Amino acid sequence: MKININRQRLLKALNIVNVAIGQKSPDPIYINFKFVMNDEYLEITGSNGDLTICSKISIQDKNSENYNITSYEKGATLISSKYLIEIIRGLDSEFVTIEVIDDVIAQISDKQSNFKLNSMPIEEYPDLDLAIEGTTVTFKANELKKIIFQTAFAASNKEVRPVLTALNVKSFNNQMEFTATDSFRLSKKIFNIETTDFEVNIPVRTLNEVSKMLENSDVKMIVSQRKVVFEFDDTIIYSRLINGDFPKISRMIPDAYPYVLQVSAEMFSAAIARVSLLAIERENIVKLSITPDSLEISSKSDQIGSANETISTFRYAGERFDISFNVNYVLDAIKATQSDDVILSFAGEMSAFRITAPNDNSIIQIITPVRSYY
């Protein structure tokens, strides 16, 4: 294999593929990029066994018609990802040459620099299941990014119950739901889309990485029994699914809400964040006290002191009501609504409460309160 390739274009592909390698893997073979040059494109693959990313660089660039690769000899090799990426980033010429010598050395060079990295034949690389089959759903990049932004934060980051580190993606009767919960709070996005029925648990980590890579093009999500595939631009991402039953969340959501507050998202967020400054010892738990005439947020600590905020602009339907909650959960949920005003609907002091946006039924946030301390 020998290629003369545009350095920036190569670096972009390496950075994308490296996301799969950056994550821990038990098998040291996975520290390598797999390079395969054929007569149409260079394909670079990285994997940790669970997540695999392939990125193609065509000889002639599809958008600009410039040449990404100005000369080549077909071939393939495995190159250490860490050193290759640092070398390609550190060089400053427009084009670099990568040449495999005797199957055991990859030489990276330009006019001034010459690096020889130990390399390996691709026969050493594991066989990965890269078949693409199953139900295909197509999203606009911005739509999928928004869905992930609005839900993924509510998933658990603890591996104790692996299924809670996934987003549950369910399609039924052309309605699709993305749901995440860490069992203390829940975020659900609902929208209509034509597709066959399915239900899978996709690792949140995969979705967050996909979201970061998406630019403007459409993205295909292909769901099968054992894996999910995302396909966009010149990139294909393969991820295992998470086994196990996602919790039945309907029991967590109250039926009726006799206390309903509408308030500015920004003003309410700023007020609870300030009050929580004195609630650090209490895991950021503050108390909300509402009457038809007053909206007050407070916290109290014998050690430090007390904090009190009043908000004068709000709408409230209901009787006098008190509830205590973790400020971080409420801040996250308000941010995810992406709305100027938010509606907080309460069922009772010890029942889960709901946060929604006035003009958007697609996003629902549920948070469990905590017992008041004072």
Q: Does 313 bind a second copy (CB under 8 A)?
A: no
Provide the 10 A C-beta neighbour count for residue 361.
9
Rounded Cα gap, residues 234 and 131, in angstroms: 16
- Which of 74, 116 has the CB closer to a second copy? 116
Rounded Cα gap, residues 198 and 221, in angstroms: 12
- Which of 15, 368 has the CB closer to a second copy? 15
Q: Does 105 bind a second copy (CB under 8 A)?
A: yes
Phi, psi (5° rounding) for residue 310?
A: -120, 140
Q: Does 90 bind a second copy (CB under 8 A)?
A: yes
Distances (CA, A) of 275 to 262, 291, 292, 344: 19, 19, 21, 18
Q: Does 21 bind a second copy (CB under 8 A)?
A: no
- Which of 26, 90 has the CB closer to a second copy? 90
Query: Rounded to the nearest whole angstrom, what is the least distance from the CB of residue 373 to a second copy in the complex?
Result: 17
With vertex at residue 162, the alpha carbon angle to CA 159 and CA 163, rounded to the nearest 5 degrees, is 145
Q: Does 310 bind a second copy (CB under 8 A)?
A: yes
Query: Rounded to the nearest whole angstrom, what is the least distance from the CB of residue 215 to a second copy in the complex?
Result: 29
Residue span binding a second copy (CB under 8 A) among the ranges 41-49, 202-210, 284-292, 299-307: 299-307
| Tokens 């958008």, located at residue | 63
Query: Rounded to the nearest whole angstrom, what is the least distance from the CB of residue 295 to a second copy in the complex?
Result: 11
- Which of 96, 147 has the CB closer to a second copy? 96
Q: Does 120 bind a second copy (CB under 8 A)?
A: no
Q: Does 92 bind a second copy (CB under 8 A)?
A: yes
Q: Does 80 bind a second copy (CB under 8 A)?
A: yes
Q: Does 86 bind a second copy (CB under 8 A)?
A: yes
Rounded Cα gap, residues 236 and 22, in angstroms: 17
Which residues contact residue 66 at a Cβ distance below 8 angstroms, ignoring those fewer than 6 apart? 6, 60
Among 263, 278, 366, 370, binds a second copy (CB under 8 A): 278
Among 74, 116, 161, 226, binds a second copy (CB under 8 A): 116
What size, in residues, is the chain? Answer: 374
Distances (CA, A) of 161 to 140, 174, 207, 247: 32, 29, 18, 11
Q: Does 87 bind a second copy (CB under 8 A)?
A: yes
Among 120, 190, 273, 347, binds a second copy (CB under 8 A): 273
Which residues contact residue 60 at a Cβ distance below 8 angstroms, ignoring those fewer than 6 apart? 66, 67, 68
Q: Does 274 bind a second copy (CB under 8 A)?
A: yes
- Which of 239, 299 has the CB closer to a second copy? 299
Among 10, 21, 166, 271, binds a second copy (CB under 8 A): 271
Contact assessment for residue 23 and residue 48, using Cβ atoms and an 8 Å cutoff: yes
| Tokens 């250490």, located at residue | 80
Among 167, 221, 237, 307, binds a second copy (CB under 8 A): 307
Q: Does 303 bind a second copy (CB under 8 A)?
A: yes
Output the DSSP codes for 212-278: HH--SSEEEEEE-SSEEEEEETTEEEEEEPPPSPPP--GGGS-S--SEEEEEEHHHHHHHHHHHHGG
**Site residues, a second copy (CB under 8 A):** 80, 83, 86-87, 90-92, 105, 112-118, 270-271, 273-274, 277-278, 303-312
